Structures are given as structure tokens and as C-alpha cells.
Chain A
Amino acid sequence: MQKLPGWMKWCLHSPKFALLLFVALCAVTATGASQLYFRGDYKVFFEPDNPQRKAFEDMQNIFNKSENVSFLVVPKSQNVYQQDTFELIHNLTEDAWQLPLSTRIESVSNYQHTYAEDDDLVVTDLINEGQYTRSHIQWVKDVVKSTPEVDGRLVSRRGEVAIVNATIQLPDGDQTKEVIEIADFARSLEQKYEEQYPEHDIYLTGMVIMNDAFAVAAQNDAQTLIPAMFVVITLMIALLTRSIVSALATLVIVASCIAVTMGLAGWAGLFLSTATVNVPTMVMTLAVADCIHVIVSFRQFARQGMAKHEALTESLKVNTKPIVITSVTTAIGFLMLNFSAVPILADLGNMTAVGVMLACLFSLTVLPVILNLVPMRVPATKKESSSRFERAGDWVCLRYKRILPVSLVVVVGSLFFAGNNELNDIAVKYFGQASTFRQAVNVQEETMGGMSNIDFVIYTDEEYGVNDPQVLDKVAALTQWLNEQPEVHHVTSFSDTMKRLNMNMNNDDPAYYKLPENKETASQYLLLYEMSLPYGLDLNNQIDINKSAVRIVAVLDNLGSNEFTAFEDRARSWFAELAPNLRLEAASPPLMFAHIGARNMQSMVWGTILALILISGLIIIALRSWRLGLVSLLTNLIPAAIGFGVWGVLSGQINMALSVVLSMTMGIIVDDTVHFLSKYQLARKMGKEVNEAVIYTFTTVGQALVTTTAVLAAGFGILMLSDFRLNSDMGALTVIIIVAALIVDLLFLPAFLMWLDKDKRNSRGNEDELREKN
């Protein structure tokens, strides 16, 4: 048996001093937690050099920003063309200018309609104050129908919804404070108008509201999941150890792990996001698993009649190595999240890795100290569970020839169903149906079609290039092509504005609803139009200052990642053929999300492979056996295969959080394998035959494997309660893989060992012993 390291002994011998040190450490580091802050903008999902993010930010610097708050005004009569709705829209439009950081408010009311009157160009709001008469309403309705810039964008095509859209100029960096302020203001407007106009519902959508929803989701998780987790683990430990003192001691360890982890995160300048807010839950889960090992063995030894101090020392002796190994492998798995293309998932990995190592340290030092100091009784109970595991081991040994082919079928079947999975990141669909943001998105989807936009920018690299008739023709052609695509709901294009201006300049003759014939005319029309627009309604969001680039905004269905990027490719290649000498760029937040899944998956492939190599290498070193190390490779990969197979059947939707589950779970599930294989190896060294060794392994570690799996499954299962899809999916898939790992370790692994070692029977253990003696 191995000896206990000196510093661990020291802890047991000078408990008061060790505790004091522990408390001081916690106090110092945990204060860092006060520096943690919530960050709720969608940019936390993207690295600063993410190509789609960069393209979008460049576009925002050239044109005006397009972060927005949208008020969906839904009259209960399903018809916006009525007096009180007009009044509501007009007043809300005016009030929306008060939204913090707003730079532009657009609605059907302040749309700058142009028409000809004698030799004048009249530019006017569609609804001025007091213009709510029936004849005016009818006029507006006619104008809207003939104005593609409004129809389908500011009023739904069937006329049942109107939109007041506020463009917001958010500062760079952390915007959470501003976002919350804006969202609160928007909600107060929403409330005010719903009260004033009870025949209307108002919903809030837009990027700023989505950012706010991210912050709300993170806070909800923090407020519901973490307390739920505390309840679950307290119950769990009390049940498993049947000792309140043990449960309390574990709680102390768990709480201190969380406090120190979050404190260190605060000192390191990290922030809380929808991903990292669940670090406490994960750390708690993994810490409990460590504590349970120590406590269960301690009680076993105590039951055998050992003194408390002695039982603790023995427990530490048998548990130190497995706990250290599993903690290191778990930490490696989590550290590999640094490969992720999603920065907050990397943060999640780093924080949890630190938490895991702290849990390892505390459960091996502080936990025994506490157990030693507090008085506790150890009732002697019968060991009936071990005989149950003995029978189970027997059962497997008898049927290993059948288990193996069945396992093979399961693995092949899983791989087949895993093919059902497809990458899908639609940010608005991360939010559960209970979230008010999601409800607003649903309403918008039903009435306006989707809300996923792609901004296309055509660069001519020439001053006033956008007014070149050849370029304008291409812009109009792209606009038409986009409009013809079934997934497109609306296109905002400068070519429509230009056509209308040409008509206005020719006394509103519909025959002139076409592009001007030469560049000078187009440029001068544009100048005329720009000179007549009021504050906040200029064309800066469509045309750059040199008039060399033009932005066309297409609004699409809320498509899955693959369809969305496929659409982007289709548009790009269509345009490349149409106008090979013009440069087209496409960017938007939905496009960023559509690309992140694939990008993250690619980068995680390397992280996962590295995790696999490191973890297997560690096991080979720990078990000092190539064979068993390679066997562990199988038992690590099969649960993942099963997990993704089951996921393919259950859901089939892989979001950015799921791409990291493989690497994350590998470090956790290897725990089972290490325990199983080390005991098996021990039995073989003791000269037992293969089936005896398997049964021995079942009786010694079966209970512990089931217990830790139950704890881990419960802990990660808590994440499934999250209303935020990234977290609930991550929890669900992790639970599936952890449970699959237990089944694989209890069925496939012994069967596989029986088959692998069948020729050697007794000889192998002796060989190993011989080698060790040399």
C-alpha cells in the first residue's frame, strides 16, 4: 500500500492550524467574487478575430450600427389601419426618441414619404400628429402598399402588425449596463402604451432586447439552478452516507470550492455569462463526487472497527491516487475547452478546471480534518449491496459472449443515428418558450416572417460608384433575386428608393418607376433626397460617406445554421456570376451564429483529440499498462458515440455548447474506467482468474461507480432545468453520456476484458508481478 504524503499527514495532525489556513485562503480569494459582473451581449460568444464578427464590425463602422429595439404593435382587431393604432404608433415613435443611446427611430408614422406636387418635391411623415382620419388612414394604406421600404418591414404585409424600430448606438466592450437601462426603458414604454391602448399588445424584440434576454437567462440560471443544486446534493449525500455530519462537511467543501473558484475568476477579470454562470453547478457536482469517495471509504473502514483517525488515514491512502487521477483528467477535459471558438466556453472550461483541482485538494485535506474534529457515530450495517454487485458481476461473466455482439450493434446503431445530428445555432431559439423575448420572437415570426437578417454590402471602391447605372442595375438585380427566394421576407434596398425618386422627379408618372439613366442624374437625385431628410432618418445606414458602397438588408426565416450559410453561399455565388468586378460582403449577427457552430466544431476536434491523447496517456502511466490504456480509449469513446446517437434520435440539433461536451465529459467518464481497471489489475496481480477478477472488481467498486454516476447525473441533470437551450442541452447530453459510460463500464468493459484476456487466463497477472519484482 502507498504511503500518505507528508503534507496530508500534517493536515490530520494539526487540524486547527490547517483549518485556519483554509479559512484564510477562502476569505482572501473569495473576495474576488465581488468583482464578477454579468455580461449579456451576444458578442461574448465570439472571439474578437472571428471573421464573421470582424466583417460585421467593419460594416458597422462604415455604415451606422444596426443594434436595435423593435416594438411590435399588435392591435387585437388584427388591423393596424385604424384611428387609435395610428395614434399609438405616432406617439410611440415620438417617445422612442427618448430611448437611451437611440440614434434613429423608424416607423410607418415617420417614414419619409416623397411625392411630386407641381415642381416641388414634397417630403413628409406618413402620419403627422392628429392625422388619424379615415381618409388619411386610407391614403397611408395605399402608400404603404406601393412602398417596398415600408411594406413587410414597418407594417406586416397582411396589415396586422406595425413596427417601431429604434436603432441603438451601443458602446464597445461590456454593454450590459446600457443594455439593461435601454431594455428597462423600452419595457416602461411598452407598459405605458399597453395601458393607454388596451386594445393592443406590444412585444419587444431586436438585438438589444436579445442581449438583455441573455443577461436575464444567466441571472435566472444563477437564481434557480444553484439553489436547486444545493438542495439536491444535500439530500443526495444524506441519503448515500446516512449522516448529517458528513452532508454538512461536504457542503462546507463544496461551498468553499465554489467561493474560491468564483473569487479567483473575479481576480482574473472574468465575467459571468450564460455559460460561466453554471460553473458553480459543475464544480459542486465534481466536488461532491470527490467527497463521497473519501467519506464512503472512511465509513467502511470505521465499520470494520478502526479508530476514527486510523479510518481516515486508510481512506486517504486508498483514495488519494484515484481522486488525483480523476481530478487531473477532468481538469484536462475542461481545459481543452480553450480550443473552443467561443470565448465564454473557454472561460467555463478554465473556471471549472480550477474548481475541480480545488475540490481535489480540499477533499483530501480539509474534509478529513473536519470529519476528524466533529463527533460522529458510525453504525454498523450489513453489506448487502456488495453481494448484489457480486451477482451482477457473475451475470456479466456468464453472458459476455452475448454482450459483446450486442455492444457492437449498439455502437454501430449509435454512430448511424449520430449522423442525424446537424449543427444548428439560432440565437433566438436558445431561449425557452417561457421567456418573454422568445414569445415576442414567435409573434414576429408568425406575422412578419423571421427576424434573421443578412446585410449585403456591395463595394464599388469608387467615389459615387453606387450611382453608376451599371452598379444600380446590379443592386436592383440582387434585390429582385433576393425577393424571389422563398426564405426571404423583406429586402430593404437603395435601388427601390432610387426608382421612387425618379418617378417623383417625373411628376409621379409610374412609367418612371425605374432607375435613372445616367450617373449624374442619379447622384443629383440622391443629393436632393438626402438634403430633405430630417435628423435620424438619413441614408447613412444604407450608403457610406463616399457613396462608394451600398448596404442591402434581407430579412429571412429564422433558418438553421446550415440552411442559413447555404443561403449566404448561394447569394454570393449568384452575385459573383452577375457582377464579377464588384465586391460583395455579407454579415450580420444571425450569420455570426450560423457560422459559429461549424467553426467551434472544427476547433474542438483538435481539443478533443488532444484530450483523448493526454487522458489515455495518463491512464497508461497510472496503470503502467499499454493494454489497459488502450482499452480505456474504447470505454471513453463508446459512451460519447452512444450519447451523440441518442441525441440524434432525441433532438438532432447540435449547438455551440454541445460541440464541447465530448471533451468535457471525457475527463469525467474516465473516472469509472480508472476505478474499474485499477481494481481489475489489482485482482489479476493477486493471481485471480479473469472472471474472478471481474467479480472482485464488481464487488469492490460497483457501489462507488453507481454512486458517483448518480451524483454526476443529478448535478448535470440540474442544468436541464435551465430555460436557456445552450445550458439545458449541455446538461442533457452530459447526463446521457455519463449514464452511458456507467453502462459501458459495467457491461461492455468486463465482457471485453473476458474476451481480451481469455487466452491468458491466469498467466498475465503473474507476468506483471514478475515484471514488478524485477
Chain B
Amino acid sequence: MNYVKKISLIWFAGLLAISTGIQAKDDAVEKGLEIAKERKARDTGWDNSVANMTMILRNAQGQEATREMRVSSLEMQDDGDKALTVFDSPRDVAGTAFLSFSHAMEPDEQWIYLPAIKRVKRIASRNKSGPFMSSEFAFEDMTSFEVEKFSYEFLREDKYNGEKVFVIEQTPEDEFSGYSKQIVWIDQEHYRVRKVEFFDRKNDPLKTLEFEDYQAHEVNGKQFWRPYRSYMYNLQTGKSTELSTNSLEFGQELDESDFDKNSLRRAR
């Protein structure tokens, strides 16, 4: 009797341990998703913006290359955002315009206008993981954050540069993503991303992205935070890219007609 009791007790303890393990995992997933949703909610409603940006590329040898561009963005409900990028430098690609409709699960739709031949070309490719303007930023790093792009797991609370942050792991749902996972530091006060660690397909650390100089913009009475400087460092090749915002305006009265194939030709 005693013996049986003992056995069942061990069983019970074991089951409890396993189930609490599962429970803990479920909780972490739940909490991760909550944070992601809150992050998205805090960043919904900005409608449209126009930014002037500079990208500085550096390689392991210390060489530098600079690209200037203007980015118009249009917030889309229940889909990825639309973006129109016009390159101002280097000179030989000045006037080239790039239009992208980003999507959570399907390949992004992309068109490019080449002023040299005055033609718009659609790019049909699985390039989500590819580099943007041969920088260390991939297309998927540049497009808008959508909750359904990832599955989440809350890892821990931590401090980042003195601020309290959530650290969560997010795993891309798209098989064509270049990453196996990302670890994201999100501050608890404003739900702004402070740092991201990217892991490549073999789960090795690939890049780190740090956001600095966050500034608040008020749109329709709501505050939106934008980083004015982001720094991407490739841990494997020693290359890096610095993206800085020179100016950023909201409420530019843009609508979908400013983001179609025809608008590409007009963009200058």
C-alpha cells in the first residue's frame, strides 16, 4: 500500500513537473505574443510619412560607401506597408525609384523604375532575405512589423542601457526568410525595439541591429517613436551599415494612388 502510494506520488510529481514545463512554455508564448501585439498597437495609426535617409556601408577593410534616399511610407491596415524609395545618390543610380508592397506571408511585390531606360520593371523573385542596396539590411529588415510574420516566445525581463526591457524571441513564419530566429529587446515603457540579434539558417549569430536616438512624433494626438539612427553589424563578415534619418515628416497627405506603378515614373 505504502509502496503503491510512493509510486503514484512519484508519477504525480513527474506529471506535475512536465505539465508545469509545458505550462511555462505556453505562458512564454502567450506573453511573447502579447508584447508583439502591444508593440504593433502602439505603432498603429501613423498613416503616412516621408523620410530623408543616409546609408553608410563599411567593409572589413574599412572602406565606406554612401547612399542617399527618400522613403515615402503608407500604413496599410491588415497587410504590410507600402513604400516608395527614391535614390538620390550615388549619381549613377540617382532617380531610380523602388516601390514595394510588403506582405506578411506572400512574397513582397516590387517594381523598380530605371530612369536610364525610362521603364518600370517588376521584380519577380524570392529576395525577401536578400540585401537592400547591397547593405547589411535585408529587405525583410526594412519592411513593416506585422504580428503574423513571427511566432513568439518571451525570454526574460532585462535592462538595456538602463531602461527596463522585455527580451523576446521571434521565429519567422515565412520559409523564405533568411533567419532561423531573432532576439528582440523591447523597452517596457514605449514598446520600442532597442536591439535585435539575427540568427542565420544554421542558427548561428549573424547580425546585430541597434536603434538609437529615438524621437517622438505626434500624429492625430498619438505619439509615434522613430529611431533616427540604426546600426547593423554583420558578425560573420565584419561588414556594417549605418542608417540615419536626416528628416522625417508625418501627415504628408499621401494615399494609395501615390504608391502605384504610375507614381514610380513621377517620383523624382
Contact = CB atoms under 8 A, between A and B. Distances in A.
Interface stretch (B9-17, B129-137, B154-162): B129-137
Contacts of B92: 464, 467, 519-520, 523-524
Contact of B122 (A121, A518, A519, A533): A121
Contact of B114 (A58, A123, A518, A528): A528
A678 B239 CA distance: 67
Contacts of A524: 92-93, 96, 114-117
Contacts of B255: none
B201 interface: yes
Nearest to B132: A531
Nearest to B203: A98
A528 B134 contact: no
A120 B126 contact: no
A297 interface: no
Interface string B45-76: 00000000000011111011100000000000
B236 A103 contact: yes
Interface stretch (A262-270, A406-414, A535-543): A535-543
A97 B201 contact: yes
B130 A545 contact: no
Given A97-B201, A101-B204, A505-B121, A534 B130 contact: yes
A546 interface: yes
Interface in A512-531: 518-521, 523-525, 527-528, 530-531
Nearest to B138: A535
Nearest to A524: B114
A545 B115 contact: no
B127 A531 contact: yes
Contacts of A123: 123-125, 127
B236 A120 contact: no
B261 to A, nearest CB: 9
A534 B124 contact: no
A119 B123 contact: no
B98 A121 contact: no
B89 to A, nearest CB: 9
A100 B130 CA distance: 20
A393 B80 CA distance: 99
A531 B130 CA distance: 7
B65 A463 contact: yes
A533 B134 CA distance: 10
Interface in A50-82: 58, 61-62, 64-65
B237 A119 contact: no
Given A61-B59, A519-B92, A538-B131, A546 B65 contact: yes
Interface residues of B, number: 48
A170 to B, nearest CB: 10
A519 to B, nearest CB: 6
Contacts of A523: 90, 92-93, 116
Contacts of B124: 117, 120-124
A729 interface: no
Nearest to A523: B92
Contacts of B114: 521, 524-525, 528
Interface in B77-125: 87, 90-93, 96, 98, 110, 112, 114-117, 119-125
B5 interface: no
A88 B125 CA distance: 23
A346 to B, nearest CB: 29
B117 A521 contact: yes
B227 interface: no
A544 interface: yes
Given A520-B115, A545-B59, A546-B65, A534 B122 contact: no
Interface string B33-49: 00000000000000000
A530 B120 contact: no
B236 to A, nearest CB: 5
Contacts of B63: 62, 544-546
Contact of B202 (A98, A463, A539): A98
A97 B177 CA distance: 13
Given A524-B117, A528-B123, A535-B138, A58 B61 contact: yes
Contacts of B122: 119-121
Interface in A95-120: 97-103, 112, 117, 119-120
B116 A520 contact: yes
B192 interface: no
Contact of A62 (B61, B93, B110): B61
A442 interface: no
A202 B177 CA distance: 29
A531 B202 contact: no
A169 interface: yes
Contacts of A117: 124
29 contacts: A61-B61, A62-B60, A97-B201, A99-B202, A103-B237, A120-B124, A121-B122, A123-B125, A123-B127, A124-B126, A125-B126, A463-B65, A464-B91, A518-B116, A524-B92, A524-B93, A524-B114, A525-B114, A528-B114, A530-B134, A534-B126, A534-B130, A535-B129, A535-B130, A537-B130, A539-B134, A545-B65, A545-B239, A547-B65
Given A531-B132, A534-B126, A540-B131, 16 more contacts: A62-B59, A64-B237, A65-B237, A100-B204, A120-B121, A124-B126, A518-B116, A521-B117, A525-B114, A530-B134, A531-B110, A531-B130, A534-B125, A535-B131, A538-B131, A545-B57
Closest 7 CB pairs of A and B: A535-B129, A535-B178, A523-B92, A123-B125, A61-B61, A520-B116, A521-B116
